[in-house]
Amino acid sequence: MEYAFQKDFYGYMAVSCALALIIAIFPFEGWFYDYLRLLVFIGAVLTATKSLKKPFVLLSFVLIAYLFNPIFPVHLYQKSIWFPVDVICALMFMANTFRTKKTEPFIPYKRKKTIKSYGRDRKY
């Protein structure tokens, strides 16, 4: 199965969210985590609105948006608790960024149809 990167706004937003979540594993000051909450919240809301027809993806990104909500923040208070949350959310953003390529089904002995031309029976 081949995968292709989605070269649109949603794909680049998801990659930036995933990179910010991976960088958040290391200790930073408080302003970085405020920026991270805003970025991941916007990315999760955009991804959830894009995937309205996929209920699992929709529910998972609504949960991510709830965890990283900058208006009513969820405080887990310990870095050891946020570490797996950041990694799992980064993996979910990256998994949603890549999609499977549509390929033609393999038919082993497919004959090409030749169009027969009857030159004298043409209608003009």
Between residues 114 and 43, which one has the greater pLDDT?
A: 43
Angle 116-122-124 (CA atoms, 0-180°, nearest 5)? 140
Q: Is the pLDDT of residue 124 over 60?
A: no
Q: What is residue 121's predicted lDDT score, i.e. its pLDDT?
A: 62
Query: Rounded to whole angstroms, what are the CA distances from 67 to 7, 41, 70, 82?
Result: 27, 8, 9, 10
C-alpha distances (whole Å) from 105 to each of 16, 90, 102, 108 are 35, 33, 9, 10
Q: Which of 41-50, 54-63, 114-123 has the lowest mean pLDDT?
A: 114-123
Average pLDDT over residues 1-15: 75
> What are the backbone angles phi and psi of residue 38, rounded to the nearest 5°?
-65, -45
Indicate the pTM of the whole model.
Answer: 0.73
Interval 33-45 mean pLDDT: 92
